A and B are shown apart, each in its own frame.
Chain A
Amino acid sequence: MKRRRGIVAIIAVLMFSSLSFLSAGAQNQEYTIKVMPAGGPPPRLPDGHPDFTGLWLPNSAGQGVSGRYGVDPEARRQFDPKVTPEEPPSFQPWAVAKMKSTTGTELELSKSSVNCMPRGVPAIWLQNPYGTMLVHKPGLFVQLYEVLNNFRVIPTDGRPHAKYPEPLFHGDSVGNWEGDTLVVDAISFDERTFIMPNGWFHSDELHVIERYSRPSMNYLIVQITVEDPKVLTKPWTSAPRRWTLANDKINEFYCTNNREVEELEKLKGLESPKSQ
């Protein structure tokens, strides 16, 4: 009986050790890269609205976090799902079937990060690990995306959408202020883009509403709503995602000599559709 109790104790220690190991990164470590403080009040444009100008990174550290050690997990993420949970999108049954019929390799080949197609809106704000430089002045909001050297110019002077909008990767976009929040309304999208890299595609009825705010010097908050009645059963809204101000320069990123497509093509036909 005594021996059995000893074995149980050993097992308990083993299990506890393994769990401690798994959570060590979150609790018992001195991190060298931490959450950036909020900073003081945000700068303002001559017209009194917040000025979003700056180079912004999609994390809470205000510096690169990928491929680095000593990063506080809080600093890696853009929101805390326990505080601001993000509801999963609710798809139409046909959309679920279409996504399920895709193989892992086909899904991979569909990704902008692999095939070098523009990410498009709203993916450029939802699935972009690189920096975005914002240039802001009264009546105009310019977004310079590091990835693929894409850019987007959004008028904020009260003009309506184009009378005959053409399909665009970034949509036909116009911005209007609601207090200190800039609301960008975008319609008319090129159908080759994906909302998320999990195969979430969209239809020609995609309508995207972006809400931008700068509650403090170092934080930019971006919240995205996706309306797409052909694909979704109801609109989807992201968590308010935090981008942090980086004391860094924007980089050039032309996609050249990409081997990934060619390498992945060789894997096609060697697998069955994935189950999601």
Chain B
Amino acid sequence: MKIPKILIAAAVTLGLVLLLVAPLFAHHSFAAEFDANNCREFTGTLTKIDWQNPHGYFYMDVKDATGKVESWSFQTYALITLKRAGIERQFFIENIGKEIWVKGCLAKNGRSNYAAAGLLKGPDGVLRQMGQLQDEPQGAPK
């Protein structure tokens, strides 16, 4: 079936509109250090939490397709932001050794096994916002 030119033009226009709007949802500092176009999902075992400012870091062991385990570290919001969103240190402590799912974006400078965490889902199945992602609520500080 031949697609009408006017439909293609409309689709292109819509795409451009969305591209223009997308940066409004991005955070500048996040964008400087992490690549919003290089995000992926991770499933692995939570191993450690560094509860400190200006950012917290948590660590997880991630198994690749060949079964090889690699340790990754993830940056979070500042602790105050996590706490005011209802996420306490105890949440991490209680889940060390358990399987978690994370969506994160990789560092622009190519540092290996290092990412900014956006979303995290623990064994309770609740999705928690850990930091900046393009699809997160607006207005979040670092």
A11/B10 contact (C-beta < 8 A), A66-B84, A266-B109 known: yes
Is B50 in contact with A14, judged by CB distance below 8 angstroms?
A: no
> Which residues from B are CB-within-8-Å of A7?
4, 6-7
Contact A113 B77 (CB under 8 A): no
Determine whether the beta carbon of B18 is less than 8 Å from that of A18.
yes
Q: Which chain B residue shows the least CB distance to A76? A: B139
**What total count of A-B pairs have CB within 8 Å?**
117
CB contacts (< 8 Å) of A248 on chain B: these are 84
Chain A 221-276 residues near chain B, CB threshold 8 A: 248, 251, 253-260, 263-264, 266-267
Q: Is A105 an interface residue (CB 8 A)?
A: yes
Is the C-beta of B33 less than 8 angstroms from some C-beta in chain A? yes
Complex contact B33–A130 (CB within 8 A): no
Q: How far is the CA of A18 from the CA of B13 in the complex (A)?
A: 11
A-side contacts of B36, CB under 8 Å: none
Within 8 Å of chain B (Cβ to Cβ): is A49? Answer: no
Task: Find chain A residues with CB under 8 A from B10 CB.
Answer: 11, 14-15
Does B17 sit within 8 A of A, measured CB to CB? Answer: yes
User: Contacts A15-B10, A251-B79, A260-B54 known; A66 to B85 CB distance under 8 Å?
Assistant: yes
Dominant SS among interface residues on chain B:
mixed
A172 to B18, CA, bound (A): 48
Bound-state CA distance A267–B18 (Å) is 28
Q: B108: which A residues are within 8 A, CB to CB?
A: 267
Check A15/B32 contact, CB under 8 A, given A63-B84, A67-B140, A255-B54: no
A8 to B5, CA, bound (A): 12
Q: Is A253 a contact of B79 with CB atoms below 8 Å?
A: yes
Indicate if the CB atoms of A259 and B55 lie closer than 8 Å: yes
Which of B53, B107, B137 counts the most A-chain CB atoms under 10 A from its CB? B53
Main secondary structure of the interface of A (DSSP, over half): loop
What separation, in Å, do the CA atoms of A223 and B6 have in the docked complex? 51
Known: A130-B80, A266-B109. A68 touches B141 (CB 8 A): no
Pick from B17, B57, B137 the residue with the most CB of A within 10 Å.
Answer: B137
Judge whether A263 and B136 touch: CB under 8 Å.
Answer: no
Interface pairs (15), CB distance under 8 Å: A11-B6, A14-B10, A67-B81, A67-B85, A67-B130, A67-B136, A71-B139, A129-B141, A146-B80, A251-B80, A254-B53, A257-B50, A258-B54, A264-B32, A267-B33
Please report A residues at the B interface, Cβ cutoff 8 Å: 4, 7-8, 10-11, 14-15, 18, 22, 59, 63-69, 71, 73, 76-77, 104-105, 107-108, 111, 113-114, 116, 129-131, 146, 197, 248, 251, 253-260, 263-264, 266-267
Q: Nearest 4 CB-CB pairs, A to B?
A: A64-B84, A129-B141, A67-B129, A266-B109
